[in-house]
């Protein structure tokens, strides 16, 4: 009698997923809290996009 074996596809290691999540969260916090036009060459596009979230989270911006 032969046994049927299945192989699971390899997925990203757990540490890699955690690192990607940490990077995404850090980028989000930077954009909401500290971005004052540095990434957009002085234009307040991202600042205005995250303006209400900034005040909701208690980050001063004025």
| pLDDT, averaged in runs of 10, over the chain (62 residues) | 69 81 91 76 77 79 67
Alpha-carbon Rg for the chain, nearest whole angstrom, is 21
Could you identify the residue written with the tokens 């996009």?
A: 49
Q: CB of 31 within 8 A of CB of 10?
A: no
> What local confidence, expressed as pLDDT, does residue 5 receive?
76
**What's residue 21's pLDDT?**
94
3 domain-assigned: no
Q: Specify if 5 maps to a domain.
A: no
- Please report whether residue 62 resides in a domain: no
Q: Is residue 6 included in any domain, yes or no?
A: no
Say whether 34 sits in a helix, a strand or coil.
coil
Residue 27 belongs to domain spanning: 14-56
Q: Please state the domain count of the chain.
A: 1
Which pLDDT score is estimated for 10? 65
């Amino acid at each position: 009698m032969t046994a049927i074996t299945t192989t699971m596809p390899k997925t990203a290691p757990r540490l890699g997923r955690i690192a990607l999540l940490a990077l995404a969260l850090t980028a989000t916090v930077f954009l909401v809290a500290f971005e004052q036009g540095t990434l957009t060459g002085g234009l307040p596009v991202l600042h205005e996009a995250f303006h209400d979230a900034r005040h909701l989270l208690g980050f001063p911006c004025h």
